[in-house]
Structure 1
Amino acid sequence: MASPHDLILPHTHILLRLPSGAPRILVITPDTTISLGKFGSFPANALLYRPYNLTFDILDAPQSGLRVVSAAEITRDVLGGAGEEETEAEAGEHYREEKEEAMRNNRETVDDPAAQKMSWEEIEEAKKVGSGSGRDLVQKLLSSHTALHQKTPFSLQKYTLRKTKKFLRRFTVLPLTVSALNNYLLEVKEPQKILDLRDETLGLMLSLGNVHYGGRWLVIDETGGLLVAAVAERLGLLYHTPDPTTTTTTTAAAADNGADPTDDPDGAADTTTTEGDTTPATRPPPCHPPAPAPLKTSNTITLIHPNEQPNLSLLKYFSYDTNNPTPTHPLHTHLHTLNWLQVVSPHTDMTLQQPPEPPGLADIRGGKRGAYYRKLRRWQHVKAIADATAAGGFDGLLVAGYMELSGVLRWAVPLLRGSAQVVVYASSREPVVECADLYSSARKAEWIAGGGGEGLDPTLLLAPTVMEVRARRYQVLPGRTHPVMTSGGEGRVEGGKKRREEAEEGEAEEAGSPQKRMKGERGG
């Protein structure tokens, strides 16, 4: 089976980069038409099972479809017609001409809108009857410009590229990764919904947290699932090849929901009769549903959320819907969710209380009996997750949310194993600095002098460090290189390591110290 990033498969999300540079996310649904507004429309089947990272031209009417654009053609369009093969003499002559034109500048050039002789009505008419996927229109605009000869080579290329981005009906298909989705949310959508979390900051969090395949990771995510998606991508759990042709039988679906496969929700088993006999058939003994599948204990993500249901809406871009999860998706069995009440005070949560068995379970109707079994299986699943979380032993903690960090770390840090990494993100400096102060040396000395107590234990986290990373975009042009001033998002990250318990430290020191081993051998 092809990898999700090898070919464009049905019912997957893809990222289109339009000539203007604006990204757009679409779902490839077979036998439908995809519309890109002013750039035109094309059938979705024209993209199916094609490789990613290709550039397509939308064919003009009456044709319908796409044409693959070669790399050489893209280069010529970007450079304004350059890139053709030429002899050495022609290349030298062309270089001398460019050097002479480079001495010219546009200091005395007046930008006159009347220099463009084509009116807007003529441009719209040319768009309707034009050909070449918009290239003919760009050439008409260049030929009708009366002041084109006054432009320097740089300004001419810039003008040509601007018109190409505006009128060329072309796009590039890119795979939708976590990095691409992060940039899309920052540039197009509302960045405050993901706490202004930038791609480089997200990568720093994963590196500081030492996220790798095989571990158990505790995550507090209030970015809509972006942090969970990044961790799942590192663990190999994010990408899934959807197969709409695969269907499950009624028995398998009932078993997955916790119902008894032999139960009859309409009670037809009570009145089943044989031919010539009106005596109701004897009800078969009720079959208890199979025990729930064992909980995954490695390569898992445990999400703690403040609401009744977790907010993982961004996982829909990776073929996973929390309201209607796909059983074959890796996240279905490796993503565990709990709310804070189930972690802090599990005995007060109604979900963790075993549903009482109704009296006369063997005699009630099949539908009610199946409903009880579904509640029982749901309780068993949530109880197993809560017990595994309370047992601790997680390999790392990653936090990105609005909640007060002192309360989050008070309950989350004790669930980690020794030497586990703790990474906290905040969109501003103050929460991270306050969090680092909670585990400072002064706080530890005060805690030890007071004999400990309840609340946050500052001795559990070692070497808290506040970091900031930001890869700024630069506009690189001849003689005018400067950073882009419109980019936002300046989040801070705090990293630390949980202190190992004294028993673990003693055992490790005794087992690994050469001096102690030599003393033991001499003494023996």
Structure 2
Amino acid sequence: MHSLPSGNLRVLQVTPNTTISLGKYGSFPTNLIIERPYHLTYELLDKRPNETFNRLRVVPPAELYADIFSSDTTTTPTPEDATPAPDAEGADNALPTDIEYSLVDSDSGAVVAITDRAEIAASARQTLTLKEIEALKKDGIDAGRELIAKLMLSHTAIDQKTEYSLAKYKLLKTRKYIRRFSILPLDIPLLNHWTLEDKDPSKILDMREEMVALVGCWANVHFGGEDPCEAAQPAVKIKPEEAEAMEIGEEAAETVDTSVPGRWLVIDDTGGFLVAAMADRMGILYPPEADHTNTEDQQQHEAKPNHADSSSGNQPSSKEGEGAAESRTEKSEDIERKPEPEQGTKPSSPQTTRKRPRREDTIPYAHANTITHIHANAQPNLSFLRYYGFDVINPFHTPSHPLAKHLMALSWLQLLEPELDPTYSSAVPNAMPEEIYSWKTNRRSTFHRKRKRWLRTRHIIDTTREGGFTGLVVASTMDPISIMRACVPLLAGGAPIAIYSPTIEPLTELADCYSLPRRAAWASNLPEELLGKSASEQENFPGNEDFPVNPSLILGASIQTSRIRKWQVLPGRTHPLMTGRGGAEGYIFTAWRVRPAEGKVEARGNIRSRKARKVDVVESEGQGQSEIPNTK
């Protein structure tokens, strides 16, 4: 992400050997900023002869904060280094026109620019016309510094400005004409700020940064631990035949134990922004760039093992190197040579021409530290994840990304009525490997694609319906009562719940459903349709007019909000900013999932009335006897 001189943000994808254009400021090659740290401030230099791009200069911190650390900025401009205002009363007191005025650099003391009084018209505050400013901008001399100096020299009321207004004026002109920019990492707070200020805030339901933080804290979103199945199984090399047999077999679709921690249930209508914020807290948002680079280099090296040696003419220096080179040559020759069948005969085995499937095409889902996203569309809307290198449409095209294993998505239809989903209900029949090898390539690939899709869908739906989730996070425009009716039975005991809503009205209705009077009425007068049913059947209560949900499943229901107020902090001028962005206020509903005890709850113990108190008789020397009640 680039921060432009005007203060605006622009999201760009940096690709090697390309050019980035900043519009009127210029353009530069991407190779000039690749492998460089973030938060550096660059300045576009003037184009050199016979060059179509601008070179970059790293602006040092001493130059950036020269006005702040300089002691000269605490004093107001004097007539020696600033242009005074003309006298409007008469020409007798006007300053002579033959006096020159100069702009002096506060750090070095060098004269930046010199002007004559005759060049300044007394009828305007800023005497430079728009045509003159555009001409200076087209010249592009010294990246706009000369233009700023002339603007300050031609300002006839610069001596009337205070130190704050002068600094603000200079900063405004610097941002407008100095061609500087910074490269910032596209983290969640910056993405939130960019969406709220420059893009459409309704896409993320006007979620401010403090709201995102509160949702993550109240839902206790954190790193849920390593996958116990991955930790228990060592990395073993599998032959292509065994890998294909494992993919075809029924054992690949068996469900696993869902009691492991670190499984969050998410309903996200913010385009994937809430999922990205949760993945950032769980440590699965960013792909392992170092490992991915090393893997690509290794694959390129394996694809061309002798390319460098043949081009340079160098030979292996040891016998071991010669043996390794010979073995690689023999293997490559064996791969390239194919047994030619005799005339009038067919190949004896189809394995000589078929293409082996790659093991990385089928990625098993993790069992811990996962996010299960429930959506209402045919495909999940997680468009914000593309900024972090994850393809939502084809998630298994990026197998190195952590979200490929830790993010699962299913629709409400698949959760509530899985039999009506054609992918889940239409099972792909199993086939033996010998039968599959005899098929044509198109039929074999279609079979593998359909079966893998069916296995993944069945795994996601079955594990979700088994429940045992660590927490529930919601940011949706749907009715929260209907969401809680379907999702609360899927949570484990003690799981936190955090629901964000732009308005407070839906959350107040939800809080009323779990209020203390509702729970008391539920305990004293159970609905007739639940009489004689077990606790598990009562959890799936569909609701009625008096009890929209089961109020005994939730404790500690509350609604809260928070807003960070921005302040201007200056010496003697500290006050909150009077203006700010509008939009929805935003509220959060928080609660905890509980499992009510079965049967009637009875209180036991020795109960004493307040009147029947034990009295201790204490003898005090010289004062007789007194009765002191026992306060134990």
Instruction: Determine the C-alpha separation between the residues in 1 that align with 2:591 and 2:132.
Output: 64
Relative to structure 1, is the Cα distance of residues 170 and 335 closer, same or farther in structure 2, using a 3 angstrom cutoff? same
Instruction: Determine the C-alpha separation between the residues in 2 that align with 1:312 and 1:67.
Output: 38
Aligned length: 448
Deviation of 1:295 (Å)? 3.2
Instruction: Determine the C-alpha separation between the residues in 1 that align with 2:297 and 2:382.
Output: 25
Task: Select which of 18, 38, 59 maps to 1:32.
Answer: 18
Structure 1 contact 220–305 (Cα < 8 Å) conserved: yes
Say if 2:464 is the partner of 1:464.
Answer: no
Instruction: Determine the C-alpha separation between the residues in 2 that align with 1:425 and 1:27.
Output: 31
1:5 maps to none
Task: Select which of 457, 470, 486 maps to 2:580.
Answer: 486
Deviation of 1:209 (Å)? 0.5
- After TM superposition, the score normalised by the length of structure 2 is 0.66
Cα deviation, 1:351-387, whole Å, max 9, x if unaligned, reads 1124343998675423113211211111111111111
Structure 1 contact 30–45 (Cα < 8 Å) conserved: yes
Deviation of 1:491 (Å)? 0.4
Q: Please state whether the residue corresponding to 1:145 is helix, strand or coil.
A: coil
2:276 maps to 229
2:477 maps to 402
Say if 2:162 is the partner of 1:74.
Answer: no
Deviation of 1:97 (Å)? 6.4
Instruction: Determine the C-alpha separation between the residues in 2 that align with 1:247 and 1:349.
Output: 43
Relative to structure 1, is the Cα distance of residues 113 and 303 closer, same or farther in structure 2, using a 3 angstrom cutoff? farther
**1:435-450 maps to which residues of 2 (within 5 A)?**
435-448=510-523, 449-450=525-526
Point out the more displaced range, 479-488 or 179-188.
479-488
Say if 2:218 is the partner of 1:208.
Answer: yes
Cα deviation, 1:245-278, whole Å, max 9, x if unaligned, reads 83999xxxxxxxxxxxxxxxxxxxxxx9713233
Q: Please state whether the residue corresponding to 1:114 is helix, strand or coil.
A: coil
Task: Select which of 126, 141, 152 maps to 1:142.
Answer: 152
Deviation of 1:279 (Å)? 4.1
Say if 2:366 is the partner of 1:296.
Answer: yes
Instruction: Determine the C-alpha separation between the residues in 2 that align with 1:331 and 1:338.
Output: 15
Say if 2:197 is the partner of 1:187.
Answer: yes
Q: Please state whether the residue corresponding to 1:419 is helix, strand or coil.
A: coil
Deviation of 1:485 (Å)? 2.3
1:308 maps to 378
Deviation of 1:342 (Å)? 0.9
Deviation of 1:203 (Å)? 0.2
Q: Please state whether the residue corresponding to 1:204 is helix, strand or coil.
A: helix
Amino acid at match of 1:467: Q
Say if 2:55 is the partner of 1:65.
Answer: yes
**1:6-45 maps to which residues of 2 (within 5 A)?**
15-45=1-31
Deviation of 1:479 (Å)? 4.2
**1:259-270 maps to which residues of 2 (within 5 A)?**
none
Deviation of 1:163 (Å)? 0.8
Q: Please state whether the residue corresponding to 1:417 is helix, strand or coil.
A: coil
Relative to structure 1, is the Cα distance of residues 288 and 71 closer, same or farther in structure 2, using a 3 angstrom cutoff? closer
Say if 2:423 is the partner of 1:376.
Answer: no
Instruction: Determine the C-alpha separation between the residues in 1 that align with 2:173 and 2:357.
Output: 70
2:594 maps to 499
Amino acid at match of 2:521: E
Instruction: Determine the C-alpha separation between the residues in 2 that align with 1:46 and 1:482.
Output: 40
Cα deviation, 1:95-150, whole Å, max 9, x if unaligned, reads 67689xxxxxx9x99xx982222221211121122332222211111112222223
Q: Please state whether the residue corresponding to 2:565 is helix, strand or coil.
A: coil
Say if 2:299 is the partner of 1:246.
Answer: no
Point out the more displaced range, 277-286 or 462-471.
277-286
Structure 2 contact 363–405 (Cα < 8 Å) conserved: no
Structure 1 contact 475–484 (Cα < 8 Å) conserved: no
Instruction: Determine the C-alpha separation between the residues in 2 that align with 1:113 and 1:157.
Output: 24
Amino acid at match of 1:441: L
RMSD between aligned alpha carbons? 3.1
Amino acid at match of 1:314: F
Amino acid at match of 1:472: R
Say if 2:509 is the partner of 1:434.
Answer: yes
- After TM superposition, the score normalised by the length of structure 1 is 0.79
Q: Please state whether the residue corresponding to 2:2 is helix, strand or coil.
A: strand
Instruction: Determine the C-alpha separation between the residues in 2 that align with 1:409 and 1:139.
Output: 63
Instruction: Determine the C-alpha separation between the residues in 1 that align with 2:426 and 2:521.
Output: 43
Amino acid at match of 1:316: R
Instruction: Determine the C-alpha separation between the residues in 2 that align with 1:434 and 1:241.
Output: 44
Relative to structure 1, is the Cα distance of residues 169 and 283 closer, same or farther in structure 2, using a 3 angstrom cutoff? closer
Task: Select which of 386, 394, 399 maps to 1:324.
Answer: 394
Q: Please state whether the residue corresponding to 2:556 is helix, strand or coil.
A: strand
Structure 1 contact 292–381 (Cα < 8 Å) conserved: no
Say if 2:521 is the partner of 1:454.
Answer: no
Structure 1 contact 357–372 (Cα < 8 Å) conserved: no
1:339 maps to 411
Structure 2 contact 221–281 (Cα < 8 Å) conserved: yes
Deviation of 1:234 (Å)? 0.7
Amino acid at match of 2:383: S
Deviation of 1:241 (Å)? 4.5
Structure 2 contact 555–594 (Cα < 8 Å) conserved: yes
1:425 maps to 500
Task: Select which of 184, 207, 216 maps to 1:174.
Answer: 184
Q: Among the aligned pairs, what percent are the same residue?
A: 42
Structure 2 contact 268–275 (Cα < 8 Å) conserved: yes
Structure 1 contact 473–484 (Cα < 8 Å) conserved: no
Deviation of 1:501 (Å)? 4.9
Cα deviation, 1:186-211, whole Å, max 9, x if unaligned, reads 00000011100111100000000111
Structure 2 contact 498–590 (Cα < 8 Å) conserved: yes
Say if 2:175 is the partner of 1:165.
Answer: yes
Amino acid at match of 2:265: L
Q: Please state whether the residue corresponding to 2:12 is helix, strand or coil.
A: strand
Q: Please state whether the residue corresponding to 2:296 is helix, strand or coil.
A: coil
Structure 2 contact 77–159 (Cα < 8 Å) conserved: no
Q: Please state whether the residue corresponding to 1:402 is helix, strand or coil.
A: coil
The structure number with the bigger radius of gyration is 2
Relative to structure 1, is the Cα distance of residues 122 and 391 closer, same or farther in structure 2, using a 3 angstrom cutoff? same
Instruction: Determine the C-alpha separation between the residues in 2 that align with 1:331 and 1:307.
Output: 20
Amino acid at match of 2:580: T
